């Protein structure tokens, strides 16, 4: 069936609701828009769905949500009656249609005989992950598009361990979804009937209480928190789901001078006060910093709509004037890693078999910090699902003890009761770390500088090229193909010098082909990579400490080609200068391939 045929069905068949049909009839003369909406099904990737809201098979709507839910339901049914009874935990954030999509998911599961635990109000990603484990559910669903702009929503799937669904399970769910090429064949069930039959169960405060209690067991240096309990803190939930759980845990552990940005407190899927609800963007904390100036706050932080990312800014003085500066995700992750390991070492609670996790595109200074404390560092591919897998393998079913995990995109995790990045525990830890620093007479900037002086200066940045629509996705794919083709043509170290249009390339890791190409001795030597296959090219660039790198990968959740850079040096000035040069050279080189 052609995309035009599918469009005709969706725009005219009364199975589809009136709003859907009217929206589609309104684009009847726009051939390109019709093609973009119907030329394919919205892709179900390794974590689920994410896309622009609207009518069509390539959009987020009640029908694509029902299709994903039917595919997941069939997967659960295939795992037997016990899996069906254990069911699915479902939560949602503040985005447009998130509550409606969660309800559609629940009624679809119920129609196939799968029990659904449905949150009675918006709750964030970490609480959904926790809920899967709390109820002993077989799977979980979180309706969210994380930090994307308002026009997006998504559908994230979790496994029984509370981590994002495995690649194998995702493939099986996708195969099941393909059986529902005609969404009119998907079963559904009346919501109230499903409630009466016990196939849908609403959950609420009992999970809040248990989750908060779990977090209190992860508090570090309680004495410092007690002494600094009156420090002024500003928090913004950016119109999202973090508001209640973050405020609850900070109050529980003793912080009693927390100010909430009033204009950003109430959930709102339009996110009217920010360009994008992403705490990675310093602009998202603008209103928080304004309130911090009024309240003389020492710390400002914000969480994204599903509260799995956290960004922070801290008070400092420059030339006698008070200002607030933001930290990068790598800087916060590095400080938290040092804070947790050092505090546990001092308290005598750091286990001999401890390990931490980060990703291949996060700061390389983690290795030096872990070595200082005798802790193993594991690197994973980009995506917190891989950190969750390491917790399952090495802590839950192994003999090692997980301490902390983070990725450069402002995601952090402590403890093992949640298996995805958790901005609630991160907020608790950041406030505790600030309290400890102030208790010692230092700022967070002093703390970071102390780490840099001990382990070397490290600076990382990322550049994203956004290309939306069918043509944009094709160009991103073509650019990666071109980079990979150039790599495969290298036969000498001199050839490698031409790979990025400037930076010296010592080696390249092609994670899609599981091969590392080493050019360091003038020839080309290859070794096998053991991480899972992924469309990622990581370039090793050498540098003062031999740790400089750059990386190219398509985003797994947005129509973007992402370029990452990391530079490390004993000199701050040298590191910053070299980073700027590499960023300019490689960005220009890649941008040419996207034209």
Per-residue pLDDT of the chain (595 residues; tens, 9 = 90+): 899 999 999 999 999 999 999 999 999 999 999 999 999 999 888 779 999 999 999 999 999 999 999 999 999 999 999 999 999 999 999 999 999 999 999 999 999 999 999 999 999 999 999 999 999 999 999 999 999 999 999 999 999 999 999 989 999 999 999 999 999 999 999 999 999 999 999 999 999 999 999 999 999 999 999 999 999 999 999 999 999 999 999 999 999 999 999 999 999 999 999 999 999 999 999 999 999 999 999 999 999 999 999 999 999 988 888 899 999 999 999 999 999 999 999 999 999 999 999 999 999 999 999 999 999 999 999 989 999 999 999 999 999 999 999 999 999 999 999 999 999 999 999 999 999 999 999 999 999 999 999 999 999 999 999 888 888 889 999 999 999 999 888 887 778 877 887 788 999 999 999 999 998 887 889 999 999 999 999 999 988 888 999 999 998 777 899 999 999 999 999 999 999 999 999 999 999 889 8
Nearest-10 Cα torsion for 422, 428, 432, 433: 20
The answer to whether the beta carbons of residues 504 and 497 sit under 8 Å apart is: yes
**What integer pLDDT is reported at residue 25 of this predicted model?**
97
How is residue 10 written in tokens? 């969706």
The CATH code of domain 209-455 reads: 3.40.120.10
Between CA 217 and CA 219 the distance in angstroms is 6
Could you tell me where the DSSP H helices lie in 256-377?
Answer: 286-295, 329-347, 365-372
How is residue 176 written in tokens? 């099941």
Do the bridges between strand 537-542 and strand 525-528 make them parallel or antiparallel, or are there none, so unpaired?
unpaired
Q: What are phi and psi of 529, to 5 degrees?
A: -95, 145
| 241 assigned to active site | no
Between CA 125 and CA 49 the distance in angstroms is 15
**What integer pLDDT is reported at residue 81 of this predicted model?**
98
Q: What angle do CA 334, 340, 342 make, to 5 degrees?
A: 95
| CATH, domain 458-593, list 3.30.310.50, 3.30.300.30, 3.40.50.150, 1.10.10.10 | 3.30.310.50
The DSSP string of 481-504 is HHHHHHHHT--SHHHHTTTTTSS-
What secondary structure, in 3-state letters, does 112-133 show?
CCCCEEEECCCCCHHHHHHHHH
Order of strands across the sheet that contains 515-518: 457-466, 560-569, 548-554, 537-542, 507-510, 515-518, 525-528
Between CA 321 and CA 399 the distance in angstroms is 51
**What integer pLDDT is reported at residue 127 of this predicted model?**
98
pTM for the full predicted model: 0.94
The answer to whether the beta carbons of residues 567 and 578 sit under 8 Å apart is: yes
Which residue spans of the chain are classified as CATH 3.30.310.50?
Answer: 458-593
Between CA 147 and CA 168 the distance in angstroms is 26
* β-sheet bridge partners, residue 141: 90, 157
Q: Classify domain 40-203 at the CATH topology level.
A: Alpha-D-Glucose-1,6-Bisphosphate; Chain A, domain 3 (3.40.120)
Between CA 102 and CA 94 the distance in angstroms is 12
Q: Is the torsion defined by CA of 71, 74, 78, 83 positive or negative? A: positive
- Of the candidates 146, 232, 409, 437, the residue annotated as catalytic is 146
Tokens 């490689």 -> residue: 586
* β-sheet bridge partners, residue 321: 318
**What integer pLDDT is reported at residue 483 of this predicted model?**
92
Nearest to 103 by CA among 114, 87, 92: 92
**What integer pLDDT is reported at residue 515 of this predicted model?**
95
Tokens 């080696």 -> residue: 507
Which residue spans of the chain are classified as CATH 3.40.120.10?
Answer: 40-203, 209-455
How is residue 124 written in tokens? 């964030």
How is residue 292 written in tokens? 């911090």
Burial of residue 482 (CB within 10 Å: 0-12, 13-18, 19+) is middle
**What angle do helix axes 125-135 and 423-439 make, rounded to 10 degrees?**
110
């Amino acid at each position: 069936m052609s995309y035009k045929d599918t469009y005709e069905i969706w725009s005219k068949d009364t199975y589809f609701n009136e709003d859907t049909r009217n929206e589609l009839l309104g684009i009847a003369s726009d051939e390109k828009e019709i093609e973009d909406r119907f030329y394919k099904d919205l892709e179900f990737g390794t974590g689920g769905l994410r896309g622009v809201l609207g009518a069509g098979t390539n959009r987020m709507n009640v029908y694509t949500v029902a299709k994903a839910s039917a595919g997941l339901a069939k997967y659960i049914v295939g795992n037997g009656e016990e899996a069906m009874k254990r069911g699915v935990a479902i939560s949602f954030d503040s985005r447009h249609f998130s509550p409606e999509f969660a309800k559609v998911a629940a009624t679809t599961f119920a129609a196939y005989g799968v029990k659904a635990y449905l949150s009675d109000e918006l709750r964030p990603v970490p609480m959904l992950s926790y809920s899967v484990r709390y109820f002993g559910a077989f799977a979980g669903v979180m309706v969210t598009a994380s930090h994307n702009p308002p026009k997006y929503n998504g559908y994230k799937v979790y496994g029984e361990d509370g981590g994002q669904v495995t690649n194998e399970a995702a493939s099986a769910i996708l195969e099941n979804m393909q059986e529902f090429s005609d969404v009119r064949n998907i079963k559904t069930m009346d919501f109230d009937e499903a409630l009466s039959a016990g196939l849908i169960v609403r959950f609420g405060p009992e999970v809040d209480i248990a989750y908060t209690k779990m977090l209190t067991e992860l508090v570090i240096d309680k004495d410092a928190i007690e002494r600094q309990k009156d420090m002024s803190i500003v928090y913004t939930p950016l119109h999202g789901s973090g508001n209640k759980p973050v405020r609850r845990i900070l109050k529980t552990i003793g912080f009693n001078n927390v100010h909430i940005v009033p204009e950003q407190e109430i959930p709102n899927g339009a996110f009217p006060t920010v360009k994008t609800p992403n705490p990675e963007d310093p602009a998202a904390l603008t209103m928080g910093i304004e309130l911090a100036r009024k309240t003389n706050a020492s710390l400002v932080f914000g969480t994204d709509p599903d509260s799995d990312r956290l960004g922070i800014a801290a008070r400092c003085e420059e030339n006698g004037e008070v200002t607030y500066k933001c930290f990068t995700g790598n800087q916060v992750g590095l400080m938290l890693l040092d804070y947790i390991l050092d505090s546990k070492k001092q308290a005598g609670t750091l286990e001999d078999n401890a390990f931490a996790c980060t990703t291949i595109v996060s700061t390389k200074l983690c290795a030096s910090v872990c070595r200082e404390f005798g802790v193993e560092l594991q690197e994973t591919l980009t995506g917190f699902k891989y950190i969750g897998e390491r917790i399952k393998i090495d802590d839950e079913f192994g003999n090692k003890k997980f301490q902390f995990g983070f990725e450069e995109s402002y995601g952090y995790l402590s403890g093992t009761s949640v298996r995805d990045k958790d901005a609630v525990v991160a907020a608790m830890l950041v406030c505790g770390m600030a309290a400890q620093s102030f208790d010692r007479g230092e700022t967070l900037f002093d703390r970071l500088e102390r780490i840099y002086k001990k382990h070397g200066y490290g600076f990382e940045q990322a550049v994203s090229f956004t290309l939306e629509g069918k043509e944009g996705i094709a160009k991103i794919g073509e650019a990666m193909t071109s980079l990979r083709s150039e790599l495969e043509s290298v036969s000498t170290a001199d050839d490698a010098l031409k790979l990025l249009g400037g930076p010296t390339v010592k080696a390249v890791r092609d994670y899609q082909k599981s091969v590392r190409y080493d050019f360091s001795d003038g020839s080309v030597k290859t070794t096998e990579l053991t991480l899972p296959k992924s469309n990622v090219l990581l370039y090793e660039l050498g540098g003062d400490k031999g740790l400089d790198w750059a990386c190219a990968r398509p985003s797994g959740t947005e129509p973007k080609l992402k370029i990452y850079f990391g530079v490390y040096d004993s000199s701050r000035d040298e590191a910053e200068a070299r980073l700027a040069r590499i960023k300019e050279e490689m960005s220009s080189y890649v941008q040419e391939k996207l034209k």
